[in-house]
A = this chain, B = another copy of it.
Amino acid sequence: MDNKVKSTINDVAREAGVSKRTVSRVINGSPSVGQATRERIDAVIKELNFQPDKQARGLASKKSYLLGLIYDNPDALYIDQVQRGCLTVCTNLGYELVVHPCHWQEDDFVEDCLNFISRSNVDGVLILPPVSESKKLASALRANNHPYVRIASADLDDHANIVISNEREAMQDIAEHLVSLGHKDIAMISGPSPFCSSRERLEGFTDSLKKLNIDLPAHRVIEGQNSYESGLEIAKNIFSGTDLPTAIFANNDEMAAGVIRVASDLGIKIPEQVSLAGFDDNIFASRIIPSLTTLRRPVQEISVVATKKLIQAINPQNKAVEQTTVIKPYLITRESTAKCIKED
């Protein structure tokens, strides 16, 4: 196997007895190449194990065949799934994935991302929540003509530039699930109010419950920070009161895990006394005791769609294939929710 010698387009051209311009045409799938010529060149390409050099290609065409992944998300599992989904598309189309964690709360974060893009020469970027909610970043990218696709939980951009996880609608499923179990006094530990996802979930939950004739009063909504510690703190508050809700929805599994911990410490049985549900289907949602009823985003599917959109945005000449834009999370029922035993 002549792996050692990297053959160039010139080698292919010489070997096939054509000019390198024609080889270039074949590589890039130009239609104006004779059938016979194309086959001959294809054969030589295989024989020589030729792969166009990304650097040279980039230098000449202003394309790097690199995609950037911008995120600032403590959920490693989420990131990992996004990366894997993304790469299934990338590899097929000759793209590579360059990762860029950032700190979106910091002042220079937009500059930092812009800097990353020009440094690395990525052709476009995928932006994960919650960074994807940044209006500033999106405008900056648009202003600099950088192709991008956001993954977010609300409809905050042109549909060519976004894939939406419809969390508002997904909340209907958990609302119906809890109500069908007989719960009427339900509490919600919401996420940080600046996040779209928090608002979508809170409003989706409230609305869905209302449709089922259940009220979610203000005192039953407590804002958390989406962290385990925050879950601990709020759970202590809830459980120290005299009238407990019969069910709790936590904005994510992290906080739900905090609730489980406090309940366990206080001897409160989940789901016997209080039902509990989370959001994410985080890795420990199925491991924890009791295992968590939760809503799972089809993360990998979402990132596949997003990557396809991004590559489409980078290559506008390919006529736009219609792409999905909205994907709904779905309910996973486990041990932490059960029939409400409280009498009316």
Contact = CB atoms under 8 A, between A and B. Distances in A.
Nearest to A56: B59
A96 interface: yes
Interface stretch (A174-182, A244-252, A280-288, A322-330): A280-288
Interface of A: 3-4, 6, 51, 53-56, 58-59, 64, 66, 76-77, 79-81, 83-84, 87, 94, 96-101, 114, 118-121, 144, 228, 257, 260-261, 264, 283-284, 286-289
| Most chain B beta carbons < 10 A, residue from A77, A80, A264 | A80
Nearest to A97: B99
30 contacts: A3-B114, A3-B144, A51-B119, A53-B121, A54-B64, A54-B120, A55-B58, A55-B64, A55-B121, A59-B59, A76-B81, A77-B77, A80-B80, A83-B99, A87-B101, A96-B98, A96-B119, A96-B120, A97-B99, A98-B98, A99-B99, A228-B286, A228-B287, A257-B284, A257-B287, A260-B289, A261-B289, A284-B288, A287-B288, A288-B289
Given A54-B55, A261-B289, A264-B289, 19 more contacts: A3-B144, A51-B118, A55-B56, A55-B64, A55-B121, A56-B59, A59-B59, A66-B98, A76-B81, A77-B77, A79-B80, A83-B99, A83-B101, A87-B101, A94-B119, A96-B120, A228-B287, A261-B287, A289-B289
Contacts of A87: 99-101
Contacts of A119: 51, 54, 94, 96
This chain's copy number in the assembly: 2
A55 B76 CA distance: 31
Contacts of A59: 53, 55-56, 59
A284 B228 CA distance: 11
Contact of A54 (B97, B99, B121): B121
B6 A118 contact: yes
Nearest to A115: B51
A2 to B, nearest CB: 12
A144 B289 contact: no
A79 B120 CA distance: 21
Contacts of A99: 83, 87, 97, 99
Nearest to A260: B289
Contacts of A56: 55, 59
